[in-house]
């Protein structure tokens, strides 16, 4: 509840006071008391409720039930619940009594004018809670929680404007208002009250840097009517008295939650008494609302795909055609970044991550631009940012980034339950080094941003053993019709050696890898026998397996997975400059489009006319209702230490679960 206001009565002349509907006013009768006072009575006109309380912590009793012994510890509380029609149209009368006198010793009169003031916004978040019974100064998570939500207005609804909407202090087009939250100031009471009282909308300088408020001051269909009144250098605004009892404001977020910013922003309206020209205006009442800035949310590969992105470069025509066909089967839109825009940078997965933000009134896709800044660095801002498609990025001030700052090293799990805690939006997975070691890590500004979103708490995995250093080199997630609704795929040298040993026992030791690789003289075939007799390769892959096993245990613990939730995919690695790269195309680095999988063609040993690696993968995944398509990415991607997933990106349908219903 808002803080009570204390009013002192005077015996010499009546006192006029402004009350706010539904808010307690404490009446101090002890400063001016007739000599000999032993008792008092207090009465009010209809519509005025008066209570007596020993103190604020104890219960209250109606004051008009009896005569009260005069005790300085008693508190008189006046409450009015309906606004006045005229100034001073209600009053409270206090009579002072002595047992030695038949008549009252004196009277004091308090004239009351009641005004109803409320600063409101959508607190219910689609019916989470009845807004009549919530504290607007609080923001509470969960299905029984409450609180208003603010979107960062990070799209660009007017394509002719050179900046994002949150970088502009003007409303350039009416569509921009759809990305904002509405805040309403309601006032009821005598109009004459505001001849010497005023309403001020205000916020802190800290919050003013993170949100902006527009006041509609004219025809709603004109952009010029929306006046910037709070935000950045503006921390207060005297609300003019227009016609009517309701003033509407549009609020936009300027900043995402981040290090030092929880995402909570408060706005206040204060009624000020400006009736005495000799003094500064004094506050009578303040109402407050709190918004939470909506977090940026990632989408796992198990969600429905909507749009596939791929780059066309000088030697990947067949690859692009294969991705286009897979997108067609999955019913996805296909967006191709042409070579004159990508300048032969094909790693579109590394350049950006596609997610979304959401409020009850609007869901907005938002691209997170990585700090890698390759030749594709302009693509997210120049080609994806636009009407109803937002943009955010984080770059270290010293611009020191490593390969781990590419977003092939940024993935998210499907929804999980781990250690008794639900993660209905999954958990972000990023790669780093072992705890306590000094290897590569994702840059601090990106880690801070991801942790601050709260709804997908990150898990840091060990990837510094990899040359490229991305989590998508050894894991992926696919949808499944049973169990938890998904399977996690892990690259497994152990499974690969086991498969090759079985094939050798069956007399296929001379079967060759890399047969059929087109237009690549650098690649030499190698038999199963040669692989299994290569002690250096075997020894190195035991090391790789130990690194993956370390991550396996972390993932089981942090995602609540059992062995039945994990599928081991045969894969070998080799060493380059003491770091691991895929020996043959990395099978887990796949494109997942619903039930359609675009998997790197491994060019494994051909046995009975079929690639035994492809056959093994089919036997593991197709019983789950999935369709495996093996895409030749050998020359344009694998030889450059990337695969299908690295060369594609996907915008997906948002979660049906609303983020505000979770408890972080």
Please list the active-site residues: 350, 470, 472, 646
| Tokens, residue 573 | 């690695």
Give the C-alpha separation, 422 to 425, whole Å.
9
b or e along 429-439 (b: 16 or more beta carbons within 10 Å of the residue's beta carbon)?
Answer: bbbbbeeeeee
- Looking up tokens 């096993």 gives 549
Phi-psi region of 388 (alpha: psi -120 to 50; beta: other; left: phi over 0): left
Taking the C-alpha atoms of residue 632 and residue 622, their distance in angstroms, rounded to an integer, is: 20
- CA 456 to chain CA mean position, Å: 9
The C-alpha atoms of residue 463 and residue 547 are separated, in whole angstroms, by 8
Bridge partners, 50 (sequence order)? 78
Distance of alpha carbon 357 from alpha carbon 390, whole angstroms = 9
Cα–Cα distance, 646 to 348 (Å, whole number): 7
First to last CA, the chain: 26
Six-digit token string for 421 = 């805690």
Tokens for 417?
């339950």
A 10 A CB-CB count for 206 gives 12
Degrees to nearest 5, angle at CA 196 with 195 and 198: 90
340: tokens are 């004159």
User: Do 29 and 50 contact (CB within 8 A), yes or no?
Assistant: no
The alpha carbon of 92 is separated from its chain's Cα centroid by a whole number of angstroms, namely: 51
**CB 211, CB 254: distance < 8 Å:** yes
Helix or strand (DSSP H, E) at 518: none
Sheet holding 236-238, edge to edge: 148-150, 282-293, 264-273, 197-202, 236-238
- Strand bridging mode 459-462 / 428-432: parallel
Q: What is the residue-wise DSSP string for 104-138?
A: -SEEEEEEEEEEEEEEE---STTTSS-GGGS-TT-
Judge whether 218 and 224 are in contact, CB under 8 Å. yes
Q: Which of 92, 107, 105 is nearest to 7 (CA)?
A: 92
Length, in residues, of the chain: 664
Helices 493-505, 535-559: axis angle to 10 degrees equals 130
* Closest residue by Cα to residue 265 from 215, 204, 199, 214: 204
Q: Where are the alpha helices (DSSP H) in 299-438?
A: 317-330, 339-342, 348-351, 379
User: Cα(399)–Cα(394) distance, rounded to whole angstroms?
Assistant: 10
């Amino acid at each position: 509840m808002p803080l009570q206001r204390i009013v002192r009565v005077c015996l010499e002349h009546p006192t006029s006071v402004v009350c706010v509907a539904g808010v307690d006013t404490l009446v101090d009768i002890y400063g001016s008391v007739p000599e000999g006072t032993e008792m008092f009575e207090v009465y009010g006109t209809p519509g005025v409720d008066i209570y007596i309380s020993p103190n604020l912590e104890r219960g209250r009793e109606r004051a008009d039930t009896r005569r009260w012994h005069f005790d300085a510890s008693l508190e008189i509380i006046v409450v009015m619940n309906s606004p006045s029609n005229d100034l001073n149209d209600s009053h409270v009368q206090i009579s002072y009594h002595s047992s030695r006198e038949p008549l009252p010793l004196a009277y004091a009169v308090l004239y009351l004018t009641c005004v109803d003031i409320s600063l409101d916004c959508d607190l219910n978040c689609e019916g989470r809670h009845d807004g009549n019974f919530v504290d607007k100064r609080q923001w509470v998570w969960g299905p029984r929680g409450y609180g208003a939500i603010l979107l960062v207005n990070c799209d660009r609804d007017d394509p002719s404007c050179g900046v994002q909407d949150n970088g502009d202090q003007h409303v350039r087009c009416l569509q921009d208002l759809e990305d904002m939250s509405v805040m309403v100031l309601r006032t009821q009471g005598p109009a004459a009250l505001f001849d010497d009282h005023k309403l001020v909308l205000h916020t802190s300088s800290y919050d003013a840097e993170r949100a902006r408020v527009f006041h509609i001051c004219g025809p709603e269909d004109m952009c010029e009517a929306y006046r910037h009144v709070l935000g950045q250098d503006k921390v207060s605004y005297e609300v003019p008295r227009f016609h009517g009892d309701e003033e509407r404001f549009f609020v936009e977020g300027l900043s995402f939650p981040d290090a030092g910013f929880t995402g909570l922003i408060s706005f206040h309206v204060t009624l000020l008494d400006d009736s005495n020209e000799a003094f500064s205006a004094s506050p009578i009442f303040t109402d407050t609302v709190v918004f939470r800035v909506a977090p940026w949310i990632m989408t796992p590969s198990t969600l429905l795909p909507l749009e596939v992105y791929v780059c066309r470069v000088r030697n990947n025509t067949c690859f692009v055609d294969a991705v286009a066909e897979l997108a067609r089967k999955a019913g996805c839109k296909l967006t191709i970044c042409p070579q004159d825009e990508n300048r032969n940078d094909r790693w579109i997965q590394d350049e950006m991550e596609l997610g979304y933000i959401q409020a009850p009134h609007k869901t907005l896709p938002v691209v997170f631009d990585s700090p890698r800044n390759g030749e594709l660095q302009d693509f997210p801002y120049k080609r994806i940012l636009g009407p109803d498609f937002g943009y955010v990025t984080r770059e270290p001030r010293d611009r020191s980034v490593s390969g781990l700052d590419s977003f092939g090293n940024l993935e998210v799990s499907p929804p999980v339950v781990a250690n008794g805690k639900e993660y209905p939006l999954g958990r972000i997975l990023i790669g780093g080094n072992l705890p306590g070691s000094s290897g590569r890590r994702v840059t601090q500004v990106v880690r801070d941003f991801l942790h601050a979103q709260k709804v997908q708490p990150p898990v840091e995995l060990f990837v510094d053993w990899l040359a490229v250093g991305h989590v998508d080199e050894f894991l992926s997630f696919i949808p499944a019709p049973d169990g938890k609704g998904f399977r996690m795929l892990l690259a497994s040298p152990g499974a690969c050696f086991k498969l090759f040993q079985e094939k050798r026992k069956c007399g296929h030791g001379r079967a060759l890898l890399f047969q059929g690789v087109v237009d690549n003289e650098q690649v030499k075939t190698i038999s199963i026998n040669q692989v299994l007799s290569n002690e250096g390769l075997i020894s190195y892959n035991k090391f790789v397996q130990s690194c993956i096993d370390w991550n396996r245990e972390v993932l089981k613990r942090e995602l609540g997975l059992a062995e039945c939730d994990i599928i081991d995919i045969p894969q070998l690695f080799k060493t380059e400059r003491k770091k691991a790269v895929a020996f043959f195309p990395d099978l887990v680095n796949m494109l997942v489009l619903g039930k359609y999988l675009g998997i790197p063609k491994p060019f494994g040993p051909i046995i009975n006319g079929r690639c035994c690696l492809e056959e093994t993968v089919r036997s593991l995944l197709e019983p789950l209702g999935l369709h495996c398509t093996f895409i030749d990415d050998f020359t344009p991607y694998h030889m450059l230490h990337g695969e299908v997933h690295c060369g594609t990106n996907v915008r997906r349908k948002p979660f049906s679960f609303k983020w505000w219903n979770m408890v972080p």
